[in-house]
Amino acid sequence: MSVDVVLIGRNEGQKLVRSLASVAPHARRMVYVDSGSTDQSLASAEQAGAIVVRLDMSVPFTAARARNEGFAALLAQDDPPDVVQFLDGDCILADVWLAKAEEHLRAETDLALVTGRQREMRRDASVFNQMFDVEWSRAAGEILACPGNMMVRVEAFEEVGGFNPSVIAAEDDEFCTRLRKAGWRLMRISEPMAEHDANMMRFSQWWKRAERTGHGFAQVGHLHPDYFVRERQRAWVYGLILPILAVVGSLSSPAITVLVLGLYALSYWKTTRGLVVEGLPKKEARAHAVYLTLSKFPNVIGMIRYHWRRLNNMQMRIIEYK
């Protein structure tokens, strides 16, 4: 065993217990970074043999900040690692993942990180869980970015300065973008990596997460204008411009409102068709397309919130949905 693992979490309960148990037999060393939990997370991590890092909660916490502090704790050890696996505390690590990912990372010296196949463990418990599962299901090969579960080369992490702790959402995309701009390659391999437990059962949870996603679109797009371009354009058009056009247009001609509704219907149809082409059953594709079409409204709220904070020099506080 030669890979160290950083787990992050906040009030994950039994999810964290299971996550730690999946990591312990395969990792050389574990660090658990806690963001102000009020449950038994800290005790569970200590019992599992992890090094525990408690974030200073006087400073707004983010996943990026938690990963950075876990990384720093590993490098402070007598025998620091040269590769580190990051894992969210609501995920179960696949048995063979660390060995397979390390093999790929060490074989190609220009790879900054390796990620793998991630699935939703209770996929059909809700339409929102299904959408997570689709989000995780991506083809193997060279990639532009990936979610936060990843194995990273220490050299590459240090070269770009780690995660940006002020980025409250899509911090993984922002980190990956800086790695690519620094000349590193990123790879997704076909090996199973983790199972995720979103446990998203309520519309309100989905809406808040979509707001946070929009905040990420805007913040990362501000830092890297060439990234999230289409996502930001779609949010502005479908989440703000078309609704304003429909309201203003209804005062002069009902035809304008009908036209706007037709554009939403077209977007829904194209989304459904695209999901079916990707292999999603038609019933699921139709349900997912409803939420993907609707998501532009919370997305634009999150984008506006980011720009309001930025223009008023406000702290970037995380938008919680759990």
With cut-offs at 50, 70 and 90, classify the pLDDT of residue 1.
low
pLDDT of 164 reads: 97
pLDDT of 95 reads: 94
Residue with more model confidence, 254 or 146? 146
C-alpha span between 52 and 32 (Å, rounded): 5
Average pLDDT of the residues in 271-282: 95
Q: Is 141 left (phi over 0), alpha (psi -120 to 50) or beta?
A: left
Block residue for tokens 């304008």? 256
pLDDT at 243 over 90: yes
Average pLDDT of the residues in 241-254: 87
With cut-offs at 50, 70 and 90, classify the pLDDT of residue 283.
very high
pLDDT of 244 reads: 93
Cβ–Cβ contacts within 10 Å for residue 109, how many? 9
pLDDT at 322 over 80: no
pLDDT of 57 reads: 81
Map out the domains of the chain as residue ranges: 4-196, 203-311
Average pLDDT of the residues in 149-176: 97
Question: Please, what is the average pLDDT of the chain?
Answer: 94
pLDDT at 68 over 80: yes
Q: At what angle do helices 203-223 and 229-236 cross, to 10 degrees?
A: 120
- What percent helix, strand, coil does the chain show, rounded to 5? 50, 15, 30
Average pLDDT of the residues in 138-145: 95
- Hey, what CATH topology would domain 4-196 get? Spore Coat Polysaccharide Biosynthesis Protein SpsA; Chain A (3.90.550)
Average pLDDT of the residues in 5-32: 95
Average pLDDT of the residues in 141-145: 96
Write down the pTM of the prediction: 0.93
